[in-house]
Amino acid sequence: MRSPFCEVAVLLLAGGLAAQDPGANAAREEYAALMADLKAAQKAFQERLKALQATEEFQQAQKARDTGKLRALLDGIEQLDLQSFTGRFEAAAEKYSGTPEEAMFLAWIAQSSPDRDAVHRAVDALMERHLDSEHFAGFLEQGFAIARHYPAPDARAKLQQIAERSRHAAVRAHAMYLEAMMLQRDRNASADDKERAEALLTEALQLAEGTQLADAIRASQFERERLQIGMEAPDIVGEDLDGVPFKLSDYRGKVVVLDFWGDW
Amino acid sequence: MYPHERSLVKRLADKPFALIGVNSDPDKEALAARLKEENITWRSFWNGPKGTGGPISTKWNVRAWPTIYILDHKGIIRAKNKRGEAMDEVVDRLLAELERERAGAGEAKDDQGGR
């Protein structure tokens, strides 16, 4: 049985919060409206793309594998104008500057803007004012935007600063994880770098215990330690598509192609 | 994708070879129809209702589909993500290796028996 009291309490609480902070609500509404506009623009762009792909000219170029022609045709349709959205998100960030909600707009710019200068401004502002923000954690969760927009040493320095200065566990854990991934993917990384990457992952794993990030860290460690060429493949115990249990090791004695696939 | 796999499975039908899938379609019922349509005969683990977020692909850190591992007869990982002709090449090489080893083991036995 659900207690009606709880619902009343929740309503009162929500009403109380809204009354306390009308600015925050306005910012959230503005963010939602911007995202809705963006979604509509993305949809319109997809439709233009579809229409182009349906033309004979496009299909012929595709058949002929004429990449120059295809590129020209793609460039010929009206693009999704992320630059103008960058301006709108920047204006909103400016409007709510200094409030916690500013971070929502900054996080979008840092994540999605194609404008490198705008991204740098947004990352700087996030690092200056929102190191402990949920929105900053959400931005880092999305992955490698920082690595994309800065030369590797600068990106690593930023991630180190974030990990050192933030008090938000998810922010710190993601910054450590991202730096470790950068080190591991760097073909020129030294033995010290590899060791540092391991240490970062161990620390990030502790901070992120119980979250998706912890699963991702475990999986990447499993891949490094158990799934390299020359290693014995770990067994898989499961069921086939008819629900019949079987094991990968049932096929010992045969050469096996193990294919992670999906019908899409 | 499917045509190459079908022809590989067919070509090696009487060899010590198996194509084993880990299928990440969340809807098993819909998939059953597609298996028939595409004549997919090889066995697959099912990655569960979470699809690409299922337990097997998560544990194996699979983030791109398809991801391919090629194992020799001892279960050692010998190649990753070889497709098309490159996959055939590795598989044929490992099958030849297996045959050589079996022939070698046979000879060794004979030698011992002869002594």
pTM of the predicted protein model: 0.69
Q: Which chain A residues are Cβ-neighbours of B88 within 8 angstroms?
A: none
Q: What is the pLDDT of residues A43-92, one digit of tens each?
A: 999 999 999 999 999 999 999 999 999 999 999 999 999 999 999 999 99
Q: Domain tally for chain A?
A: 2
Put simply, the chain B residues between 47 and 106 with a CB less than 8 A from any chain A CB are 51-52, 56-62, 65-80, 87, 91, 94-95, 98
Range of the domain at B85: 2-110
Distant-in-sequence, close-in-space partners of A9: CB < 8 Å, separation ≥ 6: none
Q: Which chain A residues are Cβ-neighbours of B13 within 8 angstroms?
A: none
pLDDT of B105: 74
Range of the domain at A63: 21-130
Q: Domain tally for chain B?
A: 1
**From CA A217, how far away is CA A204, in angstroms rounded?**
8
Reference A233, options B107, B76, B98, B86; nearest CA is B76
Asked if the structure places residue A211 within a domain, the reply is: yes
Contact flag B80-A220 (C-beta cutoff 8 Å): no
Cis peptide bond upstream of A22, omega within 30: no
In this structure, are A52 and A106 located in the same domain?
A: yes
pLDDT of A3: 45
Best of A226, A254, A264 to substitute, by most chain B Cβ atoms within 10 angstroms, is A254
In this structure, are A205 and A167 located in the same domain?
A: yes
Distant-in-sequence, close-in-space partners of A5: CB < 8 Å, separation ≥ 6: none
Q: Which of B25, B34, B44 sits opposite A240 (nearest CB)?
A: B44
Asked if the structure places residue B115 within a domain, the reply is: no
Q: What is the pLDDT of residues A165-192, one digit of tens each?
A: 999 999 999 999 999 999 988 889 899 9
In this structure, are A36 and A78 located in the same domain?
A: yes
| Chain B residue closest in CA terms to A239 | B45
Question: Would you say the ipTM is above 0.85?
Answer: yes
Quick check: A2 pLDDT over 50? no
Contact flag B65-A262 (C-beta cutoff 8 Å): yes
Give the SS3 label for residue A239.
Answer: strand
Asked if the structure places residue B31 within a domain, the reply is: yes
Asked if the structure places residue B105 within a domain, the reply is: yes
Chain A CB within 8 Å of residue B8 CB: yes
Asked if the structure places residue B77 within a domain, the reply is: yes
In this structure, are A117 and A211 located in the same domain?
A: no
What one-character DSSP code corresponds to residue A77?
S
The answer to whether A233 and A248 are in contact (CB under 8 A) is: yes
Amino acid in the structure at residue B111: D
Asked if the structure places residue A200 within a domain, the reply is: yes
Cα→Cα distances A33→A10, A195, A227, B13, Å: 25, 46, 46, 59
Q: Which chain B residues are Cβ-neighbours of A215 within 8 angstroms?
A: 58
